[in-house]
Structure 1
Amino acid sequence: MNTQTIAPAPTTAEADRTLKAKHRAMWALGDYHRVAAELVGDLGAVLVDACAVRPGDRVLDVAAGSGSAAIRAALAGGRVIASDLTPELFEPGQAWAAQHGAELTWAQADAENLPYPDGDFDTVLSCLGVMFAPHHRSAADELARVCRPGGTVGVLNWTPEGFIGQMFATMKPYAPPPPPGAQPPPLWGSEEHVRGLLGDHLDGLTARRGSLRVDRFAEPAAFVEYFKANYGPTIAVYRSIAGEPESVAALDRALTELAYRFLRDGVMEWEYLLVTGRRR
């Protein structure tokens, strides 16, 4: 009689570790710091200014990347920890901070399980970072948990309707299916969704849309090649279809068409949602 050994299903903890390892590896692809420094870095200043960081404030930047918001908060006088799941981003961030004369601490941490006590920070913020944590409720609860009562929580994320949100929608049919329970990052750019996540934690929650002016790409193809070379999520999707030339060509066309719709006289506007509130 033949017998078959069936491997046990992974536990929830094992599955989460595997998922987080994939996320860390994805953001280590390419050169995200280049994207931050050349394209989106100014948004860190927008968020820090909205949170009104003051000298002496204890600040946590969650999913900080190479520190566009953390560095601005340090320059405003904050005592800052820049935390991220992907420590490979810290070395360019440290060099960036040194160029600006900013002093801060760098720490590896999972946005869904922050290693800090309740109420440990005056300001907790995330700029284009926490949106990529797969379980939105867990991440939102952690943002609020580590902020002191009366302290500020602030997040800035791409909207679903804006250019980057539409880029993720364009890539989705070519990407591997997300694991059960994982939520799309651009939902963090929906005011209704963010109010549902943070509304019970924050008083005076305000949300406003803005746009980042991007004038780096003279033509749509230049955008596609830049993101294929530097942006981890885009690189990961292309790697997943590397053995399918027709799919690669189709995604090239789809992203080029998307960029064409948003590009006007060499300028693109990338919409974001900025949300702030006081910890209840």
Structure 2
Amino acid sequence: MTNVIDTIEADRALKARHRAMWAQGDYPAVAAEIIPELGAILVEACGVRPGERVLDVAAGTGNAAIPAALAGADVVACDLTSELLETGQRVAAERGAELRWQEADAEALSFSDSEFDTVLSCVGVMFAPHHQQAADELVRVCRPGGTIGVLNWTPQGFLGRMLATMKPYAPPPPPGAQPPPLWGDPDHVRALFGKRVTDVTVERRTVVVDRFETPEAFRDYFKQCYGPTISVYRAIADDPEAVASLDRDLADLARVHDVGTAGRTVMEWEYLLFTARRAVRSSG
């Protein structure tokens, strides 16, 4: 009994840290200024239609949920971090989108079995620490024959490499936690869903990021706005040499990926677009 209680308490503490990580900085700016088109791409790939019941998991500020609602679907946007949902509500109101916002854990969704026609997540569920639990929940709340769609950064793409660059400076992950970019590995995602899905489509694509004039401008923006980056810098704040080293590493990473002309840093960030249908008879 003690071990069970300890496990529950450890999970609560982990989720509290995740919630706090995404609440710091300005992730709404990242979603709106750096990757605004990704949610609509996922919604289109999932074939969302008017009247469908759609759940956006780890929705953040609604990068996918709002386009789905504007397409006429009956949408619920859920996320662990209530601060992001509050911003999403304001953005939705500005764009004339009507949908429901609900705080929820991607690994323990508070929805009924088979409740939704489409279940999707845009660079969101990949950050849930226990991949199989999260995948199981995506399948559970999707009706048989319904659509599951996820868009995630790949391990070898820029964001995957950025997270790998920060890893040596960060505290060790808790036992059982898996690296987020694995959700961008086709074999890993196929294994997570197994025979419970059919009609699988997998496509690697890139999004062009041209907001930054220099690699250093990219680094400084993410130091200020992106929760995972902020957390790593806070962990090494008392070590000036480590801070300087990470400063160099992040700027160098952006420099290596820069395909722009003089005076403007242009990068192509790779992501994996995965869609499938929940099998009518789930197994595996």
| TM-score bin, normalised by smaller chain | over 0.9
Task: Identify which of 43, 48, 63 aligns with 1:48.
Answer: 43
The CA deviation string for residues 46-74 of structure 1, in whole angstroms up to 9 with x for no partner, is 00000000000000000000001000000
Match of 1:30 in 2: 25
> 8 Å contact 2:78–2:85 — kept in the other structure?
no
How do 1:65-214 residues align onto structure 2 when only pairs under 5 Å count?
65-214=60-209
1:150/1:241 CA distance change after superposition, 3 Å: same
Separation (CA, whole Å) in 2 of partners of 1:140 and 1:8 = 25
Match in the other structure for 2:282: none
Aligned counterparts of 2:194 and 2:185: Cα–Cα separation in 1: 13
Shift of 1:10: 6.2
TM-score by length of 2: 0.95
Give the counterpart of 1:239 among 226, 234, 239: 234
Partner of 1:267: 266
Name the counterpart of 1:58.
Answer: 53
Write the letter of the residue equivalent to 1:74: A
Identity %: 66
Q: Is the 8 A contact 2:118 2:148 kept in 1?
A: yes
**Following the alignment from structure 1 to structure 2, what is the Cα–Cα distance between the partners of residues 12 and 71?**
36
Deviation at 1:180, TM superposition (A): 0.3
What letter is aligned with 2:116? F
Counterpart in the other structure of 2:278: 279
CA distance in 2, matches of 1:80, 1:259: 36
Q: Which amino acid aligns with 1:279?
A: R
Is 1:228 the counterpart of 2:223? The answer is: yes
SS at match of 2:31: helix
Deviation digits for residues 132-154 of structure 1, max 9, x if unmatched?
00000000000000000000000
- State the AA in 2 paired with 1:102: A
Contact 2:108–2:134 (8 Å) recurs in 1 = yes
> Normalised by the size of structure 1, how large is the TM-score?
0.96
Q: Distance in 1 between matches of 2:140 and 2:192?
A: 13
Query: Aligned partners of 1:195, 1:123: CA distance in 2, in Å?
Result: 18
For residues 105 and 273 of structure 2, the distance between their equivalents in structure 1, rounded to whole angstroms, comes to 22
**Count of equivalent residues:** 274
List structure 1 runs of 4+ shifted beyond 6 angstroms: 7-10
Code of the aligned partner of 1:39: I
- Match of 1:21, SS state, is helix
1:249-278, Cα deviation, whole Å (9 max, x unpaired)? 000000010000011223110000000000
- What SS class does the counterpart of residue 143 from structure 1 fall into? helix
Shift of 1:199: 2.6
1:218 partnered with 2:213: yes
Q: Deviations over 1:27-62 (max 9, x none)?
A: 001000000000112100000000000000000000
User: Structure 2: 5+ residue runs without aligned partners?
Assistant: 280-284
Q: Secondary structure at the match of 2:34?
A: helix
C-alpha distance in structure 2 between counterparts of 1:279 and 1:217, whole Å? 40
Q: Which consecutive unaligned segments of at least 5 residues does structure 1 have?
A: 1-6
Tell me the residue number matched to 1:3: none
